[in-house]
Amino acid sequence: MAQHLLVAADRYDLDRLKLMCEDLLCKNLDVSTVASTLILAEERNCKQLKAACLRFMSSPEVFKAKPSTIIFEYARLQLFFFLSSPLSQAVTHASRLASIRSSPVRLVLSFNTPIQEQDHSASYFHMSSSVTTSVFQAEAETGSHQFKILGYSLTKGIGIRKWIYSDVFTIGGYKWAIKFYPDGDSTENKEFISFYVQLKSAATDVKAKYGFTVLQQNGVPSNIRHTSVTVFKSTSGTCFQSWGYPRFIKRSEFEASECLKDDAFTVECTITVVTKLQTTTPCSVTVPPSNLNQHLVRLLESENGADVTFVVKGESFKAHRCVLAARSSVFRAELFGCMREKWTDTITIHDIEAPVFRSMLCFIYSDSLPVFEGINSKDGDNDSENQQLRLAQHLLVAADRYDLDRLKLLCEDLLCKNLDVSTVASTLILAEERNCKQLKAACLRFMSSPVVFKAVAQTDGFNLLLKSFPSILKDI
């Protein structure tokens, strides 16, 4: 079945399916199938599959197991396309010799000498050399945790060797936490800010690469960063080891930098955990990741086969009913149910802005958060950033309306990462209206600081929040 599917994939130019079939055939090679698989690899230009077959056949054990299966399978199928290689010459001579002899023969296969008839006491094959390969593979998992410090000036003076913990986070199957020393980790380092990462899981010999980076106010990494590789250990369930930078940056230099603004800054800890070390013998085909979303985006952009047009605020968007119905239960009901939209090729939408609908269509076809069009954002351009966040809020509303749960969560995540005093109230209103529990929790956590809450309470958005949801004060 896999061989026939490979042929069909090659015929219809389905490269990824072809490689998946190659990989499946590679992993199931045996003496009885390697010849036919090698023929297929040659016919369909499957270079990785061909290499795997030749590597499989180069083993002396394979030839000793059942040599006639491989040799005479070639002869039966008249495979003579290896004329330039030693193995092909051996196969060709063996096939010709077998065709002119009526009595049983025993053959000697040598990469350096022609095939000759031997007596019955000789072994089936003699090989001059063989090459084997193996691969050492290290697998790792990388993750990051952003630790935001609000009210930095209030942390100074808590004392040398006194630290502030971040929340515990999980990367690579292990729990970690950031330790922040505002006054340094020792008397010798009292003029410096210290950062450490601590392994919070009861484990030994966890090899990991870790680093700290202070982010700029727009979320872009700054030049204030350090990276190291070490082996973490915890000697018991309560004794955890920390590694980090006692002299991460001089306090005076940090306070003079642009990373500290409004008495707040964010540090990002990135950890790469080595999860697996293994030496294996390769017998597989490299299959690229799925690119189905790229093909669907090109289908949307080309408008080939489009069978429905949406008119949104004067702009027209062509799409495909089947794609929309497969992605959204709301579109499925509208386009294939009993609703009137089923019988028309043009549908007018009044309560969504054109850039929002365009972004939603892009997600439906690509399954990823789109780059918001119509926004010429630049680093430090607050107006553009605010416009982008407003568009994200409208996109969340559209996602909720059309039952696009993943898009809704992506918008929630984007809004969570960009909370500030001026937007948190309006974001909390949106979270309440659209039942976004994680977004609501993030807003409440952001406002839990007395300093932040005092600033938020002075905004117009907070007054609207109290009018819309007066009971929200209980949660705050």
CATH number at residue 269: 2.60.210.10
Q: Residues 226, 331: one domain? A: no
The reply to whether 171 and 199 lie within a common domain is yes
The SS3 call for residue 124 is: coil
Per 3-state DSSP, what percentage of the chain is helix, strand, and coil (rounded to 5)?
45, 20, 35
Higher pLDDT, 301 or 229: 301
Amino acid identity for residue 227 in this structure:
T
The answer to which of 15-29, 159-173, 235-249, 334-348 has the lowest mean pLDDT is 235-249
User: Is residue 219 included in any domain, yes or no?
Assistant: yes
pLDDT level of residue 65 (50, 70, 90 thresholds)? low
In a domain, 39, yes or no: yes
The pLDDT, as a whole number, for residue 275 is 83
**Which band of pLDDT confidence, cut at 50, 70 and 90, is reported for residue 168?**
very high
pLDDT at 92: 44
* Residue 107, in any domain of the structure: no
Given pLDDT bands bounded at 50, 70 and 90, which one contains residue 101?
very low
Whether 430 is covered by a domain: the verdict is yes
CA atoms 69, 75, 78, 83: torsion sign: positive
Q: For the chain, how many structural domains are there in total? A: 3
Q: CA of 206: how far to CAs of 13, 174, 203, 209, in Å?
A: 45, 9, 7, 10
* Same domain (yes/no): 38, 161: no
Q: What pLDDT, in 10s, does the model give residues 271-322?
A: 999 887 766 566 778 888 999 999 999 999 999 999 999 999 999 999 999 9
Q: Length of the chain in residues, anyone? A: 476
Residue numbers of the domain that contains 238: 137-280
Domain-embedded: residue 416: yes
- Does residue 228 sit in the same domain as residue 260? yes
Residue 251's pLDDT band, with cuts at 50, 70 and 90, is very high
Considering the entire predicted model, what is its pTM?
0.58
Tokens of 295: 């093909």
In angstroms, the CA 55 to CA 48 distance is 11
**Domain identity same for 145 and 269:** yes
Q: What is the pLDDT of residues 45-63, one digit of tens each?
A: 999 999 988 888 876 766 6
d(CA 424, CA 167): 21
pLDDT in tens, 345-359: 999 999 999 999 999
Strand order in the sheet with 308-312: 315-319, 308-312, 346-349
Q: What is the pLDDT of residue 382?
A: 63
Residue-level pLDDT at 56: 83
Which CATH number goes with the domain that contains 428?
3.30.710.10
**C-alpha to C-alpha distance for 162 and 172, rounded to whole angstroms:** 28
In a domain, 311, yes or no: yes
Q: What is the pLDDT of residue 119?
A: 44
Shared domain for 363 and 451, answered yes or no, is yes
Tell whether the model's pLDDT for residue 429 goes beyond 60: yes
Residues 398 and 322 in one domain: yes
